[in-house]
């Protein structure tokens, strides 16, 4: 597909954007009905006539696709012959389940480059920047590949740093005079801490932009989390958030207004739904459901991401007319109940993660006797223990919950959070509750 004609669609009138999206969507649904063995069956079973799906509002007539559907029928999601597949990705499994395979064609790779080129451009990165990619390019990760391709397409000096050690990445930052970094926020903090411990000053290094992937950096009001504000200060750089996943194959990146990630209407259809699968009004939180457009290798329709967020429909000061997605507030089913209030594990962690005396932490929940969730926070400390009460106060001040606090060694913490080599993502929440929602 030639995407060049869509480059400026984001500035068009809402009605024009809708028209283009409707057309691309009906083409996508037809493609799935004809080429994807899974959707051929799925549409038949659910009595979906693809010819009747003409607009985004018709999408509600198609049932959702869950990650478990893909896991159970992975091969039947492949919509092209093996010879047309040029890349195989594994999607991050956050729990213990096996990662799923994602098959990409040459067109999908081109689409991925276009998507990421525009995401970087959205954050104000130009061909004059040197961009350090702090995400794995190997082991079938999509993220590192996407950022590398996007950087190349944009014409930046792209440095494939990968997900190595903080020492090695700091060396690359100094050596290449990197002006922008894309990576996980907590890892960008680790690099800065390594530099400081070695008598260097990250704030004077000349890095101007940090693009955060995989972890939220803002709270529901779009204010930076304390740990993110600390990260900006440490690097003396602007922090931008981008939301993506391997199944999305599309990113929602923040513009210079930095108030949520803009939707690319030519690449993806976004819905936010409640527990029963009904759409929620803009601004209200629910599960993120996506239909990535134009994918040929492994197309998806109404894929339920499990991520909880909301749509921001107010006009953005950057002049783009596209809607934005808010920060990912948590994962579906992770909401904790505590004496009449609810909270996501992330929110508890973000209340203390910026403290210098915190090395790391994770949250564990179990079913309590009184109907509340028993919440435990396991924390490892850097040096001196500030006292359990201090930690409790910090958490209460930001979340109104008061978990039991258990101090563990750094080694114990790392073994839970990073676990075995096989794990592809940090685990900071362990759910031992009987009835997971």
Cβ of residue 240: shortest distance to Zn ion, in angstroms?
Answer: 11
Helix (H, G, I), strand (E, B) or coil at 48: coil
Other Cβ atoms closer than 10 A to 283: 12
Taking only Cα atoms into account, the Rg of the chain, rounded to an integer number of angstroms, comes to: 22
Of 109 and 222, nearer to Zn ion (C-beta) is 222
Contact 166, 194 (CB under 8 A): yes
Q: How far apart are CA 349 and CA 384, in angstroms?
A: 19
Cβ of residue 312: shortest distance to Zn ion, in angstroms?
Answer: 10
Other Cβ atoms closer than 10 A to 275: 9
Cβ of residue 288: shortest distance to Zn ion, in angstroms?
Answer: 19
Cβ of residue 316: shortest distance to Zn ion, in angstroms?
Answer: 3
Of 122 and 401, nearer to Zn ion (C-beta) is 122
Of 153 and 320, nearer to Zn ion (C-beta) is 320
Contact 234, 189 (CB under 8 A): yes
The number of helices, as runs of H, and strands, as runs of E, in the chain is 11, 21
Of 260 and 292, nearer to Zn ion (C-beta) is 260
Residues binding Zn ion (CB under 5 A): 255, 257, 316, 318, 320
> Which residue from 289, 291, 294 is spatially nearest to 104, judged by alpha carbons?
294
- Phi and psi of 276, rounded to 5°? -90, 0
Of 316 and 325, nearer to Zn ion (C-beta) is 316
Cβ of residue 260: shortest distance to Zn ion, in angstroms?
Answer: 8
Of 116 and 247, nearer to Zn ion (C-beta) is 116
Looking at residue 58, the DSSP 8-state letter turns out to be G
Cβ of residue 17: shortest distance to Zn ion, in angstroms?
Answer: 14
Q: How far from 156 is each of 104, 152, 282, 371, CA to CA, in Å?
A: 24, 6, 36, 54
Q: How far from 302 is each of 60, 289, 395, 410, 427, CA to CA, in Å?
A: 9, 6, 36, 41, 26
Of 317 and 415, nearer to Zn ion (C-beta) is 317
> Which residue from 288, 379, 362, 365 is spatially nearest to 325, judged by alpha carbons?
288
Cβ of residue 256: shortest distance to Zn ion, in angstroms?
Answer: 7
């Amino acid at each position: 597909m030639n995407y060049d004609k869509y480059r400026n669609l984001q500035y068009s009138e809402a009605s024009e954007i809708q028209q283009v999206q409707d057309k691309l969507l009906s083409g996508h649904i037809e493609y799935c009905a004809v080429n994807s063995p899974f959707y051929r069956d799925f549409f038949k079973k659910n009595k979906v006539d693809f010819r009747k799906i003409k607009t985004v509002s018709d999408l509600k007539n198609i049932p959702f696709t869950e990650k478990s559907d893909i896991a159970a029928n992975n091969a039947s999601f492949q919509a092209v012959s093996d010879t047309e597949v040029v890349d195989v990705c594994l999607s991050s499994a956050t729990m213990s389940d096996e990662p799923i395979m994602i098959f990409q064609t040459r067109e999908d790779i081109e689409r991925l480059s276009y998507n990421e080129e525009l995401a970087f451009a959205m954050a104000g990165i130009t061909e004059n920047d040197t961009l350090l990619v702090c995400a794995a390019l190997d082991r079938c990760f999509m993220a590192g590949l996407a950022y590398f391709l996007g950087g190349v397409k944009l014409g930046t000096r792209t440095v494939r740093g990968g997900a190595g050690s903080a020492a090695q990445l700091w060396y690359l930052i100094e050596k290449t005079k990197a002006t922008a970094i894309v990576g996980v926020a907590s890892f960008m903090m680790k690099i800065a801490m390594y530099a400081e411990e070695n008598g260097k000053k990250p704030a004077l290094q000349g890095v101007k932009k940090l693009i955060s992937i995989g972890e939220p950096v803002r709270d529901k009001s779009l204010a930076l989390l304390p740990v993110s504000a600390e990260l900006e200060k440490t690097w003396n750089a602007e922090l931008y958030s981008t939301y993506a996943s391997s199944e999305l194959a599309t990113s929602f990146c923040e513009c210079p207004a930095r108030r949520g990630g803009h939707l690319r209407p030519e690449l993806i259809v976004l819905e936010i739904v409640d527990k029963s699968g009904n759409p929620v009004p803009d601004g209200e939180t629910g599960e993120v459901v996506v239909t990535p457009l134009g994918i040929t290798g492994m197309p998806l329709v109404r894929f339920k991401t499990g991520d909880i967020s909301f749509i921001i429909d107010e006009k953005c000061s950057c002049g783009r007319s596209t809607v934005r997605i808010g920060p990912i507030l948590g994962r579906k089913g992770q909401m904790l109940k505590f004496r009449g209030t609810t909270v996501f594990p992330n929110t508890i962690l973000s209340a203390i993660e910026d403290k210098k005396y915190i090395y790391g932490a994770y949250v564990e929940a179990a079913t309590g006797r009184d109907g509340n969730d028993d919440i435990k926070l396991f924390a490892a400390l850097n040096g001196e223990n500030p006292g359990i009460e201090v930690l409790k106060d910090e958490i209460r001040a930001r979340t109104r919950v008061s978990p039991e606090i258990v101090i563990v060694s750094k080694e114990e913490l790392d073994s839970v959070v990073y676990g075995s080599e096989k794990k592809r993502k940090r685990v900071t929440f362990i759910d031992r509750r009987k009835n997971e929602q």
